[in-house]
Structure 1
Amino acid sequence: MSVSAQNLVWGVRRKTIVADVSLAVAPGETLGLIGPNGSGKSSLLRLLAGLKQPQSGRVEILGQDIARVPRRALARQVAFVQQSAATDTNVSVRDVVRLGRTPHRSALSGWTATDEAAVSAALEQVDMTDRRTQAWQTLSGGERQRVHIARALAQSPRVMFLDEPTNHLDIHHQIEILRMVRDLDLTSIVALHDLNLAAMFCDRIVVLQAGAVVACGTPEAVLTPGLLREVFRVEAEVSAGRCPGQPHIRFKA
């Protein structure tokens, strides 16, 4: 497995936020994390990426216990994309993406041909090569998120974690971003709010409620009217989508 977790527990003070979560993600798979607000999606994502330390349990990435992997070495294998990217500094698109090479360079090393090739390839993957010299502050929200993903790709990771990467984007850019993520030659774990987008772009879905896994499987198996009623407290009709295995959810008023 690319990523596996066993019995993860994490919380703040006396409040448990991630409650005994176990899961496994196969190489090349796109796994979606869904659940109501406060269900623990972002916290679980950070535990899996090694950005938080669990109170108990363990995470393995590519067969290694990440608690025993040096941070720089882990950053060469794992990339994390936040909900949104912002900076007050007037930098170019290329400068932002160059930051992704930090885990591969020492304090005294110069910029290499390998670094340049990784940046160029990342920009090409997100279709931003022609914007490489453009100022970050002049980009639209969708363009900024594509550059943020390019920065992650410049790390040359094998696993990518994305925390609600389509927040605050219009539907065109939401679909564009998730289609791009799905088509990457990577293992991806992505937290999402939109259930129909999760059904469209995820191979499997994990449903969280109060920090615990309440369902895991293909979108077709997981996204049922009963589960939507129980977990999300909404009434909905679930029908077959245009593509096999991609159900469409229509919420009732």
Structure 2
Amino acid sequence: MSVVATDLEWGVRRRVVLSGVSLSVAPGETLGLIGPNGSGKSSLLRLLAGLKRPASGRVQIHGQDISRVPRRMLARQVAFVQQSAATDTNVSVRDVVRLGRTPHRSALGGWTNADEDIVASALERVNMTGHANQPWQTLSGGERQRVHIARALAQAPRIMFLDEPTNHLDIHHQIEILRMVRALDLTSIIALHDMNLATMFCDRIAVMKDGRLVMLGTPREVVTAQLLRDVFRVEAEVSDDPRPHIRFTGAPGA
């Protein structure tokens, strides 16, 4: 499914958080959202997923304005994976993933074999089948992110939004999570803070600064020493082999 945003504006009280943001994401594409802290990445991701309503502008998914799509129907098409989610409830991994079936079940509908098959498939796709009965609290950070993705997959979405899914993970688990997301047959939009990871796993990169979209293109088009200087205020060397790789050398003027 495609995602198209047109002239999005959003703010909190009198503070403008996003202004004039327009972009499109093709079916099956992986788009990375990058930018400094406070640039509007997470806010844009939530607008695109329908978790927030823009002050003006619109978001279309598969040609439909999402403001006119019932919430339950939208949740059957779109899944959102947060940076992290904690719970003190004593639940198993399987129970967490089962929550992903909520948009597909009626208030009076019971749990079905089809639901259970979808949950089992989601756990298998993230390589967590062997942990299905394990308590949630005992999982590592990387394992929890896998379970978050499995819960999203249990929704059977066509589009997945991920808000810094590699945050606080070691580099091994960062690469593991993004490689897994990349292999899914879905349209994916991922907010990331690591530029090198974005160049490795994203088809295109959208660069945010001060609530505006300042660049959108392939990693080769976007990642330049000039952009890193202007947006992130760092000096870096960019090699191209075959995707850009960044070696940070310092701050401007250092």
TM-score, scaled to structure 1: 0.98
Structure 1 counterpart SS, 2:122: helix
Q: Give the equivalent residue in structure 1 for 2:33.
A: 33
The alpha carbon displacement at 1:85 in A equals: 1.9
The one-letter code matched in structure 1 to 2:196 is: N
Match of 1:55 in 2: 55
SS at match of 1:252: strand
Amino acid in structure 1 at the alignment position of 2:248: F
Q: How does 1:197-216 map to 2 (within 5 A)?
A: 197-216=197-216
Q: CA deviation at 1:113?
A: 1.7
Q: Which residue number in structure 2 is paired with residue 190 of structure 1?
A: 190
Q: Give the corresponding residue for 1:23.
A: 23
Residue 127 of structure 2 is aligned to residue 127 of structure 1: yes
Cα distance in 2, alignment partners of residues 139 and 44 from structure 1: 30
Deviation at 1:117, TM superposition (A): 1.4
Q: Which residue of 2 aligns with 1:112?
A: 112
- Matching residue's letter, 1:129: T
The answer to whether structure 1 residue 170 and structure 2 residue 163 are counterparts is no
Aligned residue for 1:190, secondary structure, equals strand
Q: What is the alpha-carbon distance in structure 1 between the residues aligned to residue 34 and residue 109 of structure 2?
A: 41
For 2:89, the aligned partner's letter is T
The one-letter code sitting in structure 2 at the alignment partner of 1:220 is: R
Can you list the C-alpha shifts for 1:159-208, whole angstroms capped at 9, x where unaligned? 00000000000000000000000110000000000000000000000000
Q: Secondary structure at the match of 1:198?
A: helix
In structure 2, what is the Cα distance between the partners aligned to 1:250 and 1:231?
Answer: 16
| Aligned twin of 2:218 | 218
Cα distance between partner residues in 2 of 1:17 and 1:235:
27
Query: What residue in structure 1 maps to residue 230 of structure 2?
Result: 230
Deviation at 1:227, TM superposition (A): 0.4
Residue identity (%): 78
The CA deviation at 1:108 is: 1.0
1:159 aligns with 159
Name stretches of at least 5 consecutive residues in structure 1 with no aligned partner.
none
Give the equivalent residue in structure 2 for 1:7: 7
Give the aligned CA root-mean-square deviation in angstroms. Answer: 0.7
- What is the CA distance between 1:63 and its match in structure 2? 1.3
Name the residue aligned to 1:251. 248
Give the Cα separation in 2 of the matches to 1:153 and 1:179: 15
State the distance in 2 between where 1:240 and 1:192 align. Answer: 20
Where in structure 2 are there 5+ consecutive unaligned residues?
A: none
| 1:226, distance to aligned residue in structure 2 (A) | 0.3
Opposite residue 103 of structure 1, the aligned amino acid is P
Q: Distance in 2 between matches of 1:10 and 1:114?
A: 40
Question: Which 10-residue stretch deviates more, 73-82 or 104-113?
Answer: 104-113
Distance 2:13 2:102 in 1: 34
SS at match of 1:168: coil
